Amino acid sequence: MDSPAPLLLLAAILLIAIVGVIVLLFSTKNSPKLNVAKYQTKWLAIENSISRDNAASLQLGILQADKLLDQALRERRFKGQTMGERMKSANHVWKNANHVWNAHKIRNQLAHETDAHVTYETTLRALSAFKQALKDVGAI
């Protein structure tokens, strides 16, 4: 009679190999960690640049916040050729996807419409949405 030991050894090696492959697959899908200090510094600069009496600062703050979020999405390797595509890829991450999308739409209006203006209150809401989105992706 043959001993079952070689068969058990082969089964154990096969099981360890399968578990190893599974662990590797899940660990490579994890997005890279972001430099939180860098993003916090940039975010504070955006917040400190906003002035109720300066319409240009309101618009620039929104544009910069959107750009910072896009940078974080790229660094986290969300798929997509455009910001919108990357945002769709990150949809499962957002605590409130509608707020993030609305903030991005405001940015698009400012970037593409010559007569677009924002109020201080609208700017604060957009910045709040961008800030939460940056938290959601682990940037701040």
Those residues with Cβ within 8 angstroms of residue 48's Cβ, 6 or more apart along the chain or in another chain = none
CB 98 within 8 A of CB 128: no
Q: In whole angstroms, how far apart are CA 32 and each of 16, 91, 137?
A: 27, 18, 11
User: Can you give the C-alpha Rg of the chain in angstroms?
Assistant: 23
Whole-prediction pTM value? 0.78
Encode the chain (140 residues) as per-residue pLDDT tens digits.
567 777 888 877 888 878 777 766 665 455 689 999 999 999 999 999 999 999 999 999 999 999 999 999 999 999 999 999 999 999 999 999 999 999 999 999 999 999 999 999 999 999 999 999 999 999 99
